[in-house]
Amino acid sequence: MKYKEEQIKNHNKQNYKKILIVLFVVIFILLCISFSLNLMQKKIEEPELSYGNIKTVKQVVEYYKARYISEEESKEEGYYMDVNLKFTILPYDENDNSNEDYYNDFIQDLAKVINYKNFKMIDNENDITIKVICENRKIVSIIINDIEDYFIYMNSRNKHEKLCRN
């Protein structure tokens, strides 16, 4: 009799283990399904920003991985709009490599979106102000921190500093 009782207890323990394993697997599967549905819902709500569907100033800023803060009518005469943002890519990296192409592309795309009207890009955190002057649907001047041809100026200055150090 004792032997049968022990067998029944062992059998019950094994059944409990099997039930627990099945429950954990079911819970895991439900969590995976829930996570997948959340991801799909986000994709449906927010279409992925791609170069082809950029239509607003905010979308341009976000496409170039900067943080959009605001846009407003410019208080400075001669400028249509001020775009307040925070650049995540600075004009020069820590090794003094220029990010000129990034800035030129960013400025060009922003000019397209606002129909080539004069504008300013203002990053107060990094102390960068870019003034863009347009004429006849073209950019005619880019002034960064009050320096026209900023990248040419900074490249020559950096080369001069390197020569002086050697």
Average model confidence (pLDDT) across the chain:
84
What is the pTM assigned to this prediction?
0.67
> What pLDDT shows up at residue 161?
67
The span from the CA of 134 to the CA of 118, in Å, is 5
The span from the CA of 125 to the CA of 120, in Å, is 15
Structure tokens at 98: 């220029």
Predicted confidence (pLDDT) per residue in 5-63, tens digit: 665 556 666 777 778 788 888 888 888 888 777 777 665 444 455 567 788 999 999 99
Predicted confidence (pLDDT) per residue in 112-158, tens digit: 999 999 999 999 999 999 999 999 999 999 999 999 989 888 888 76
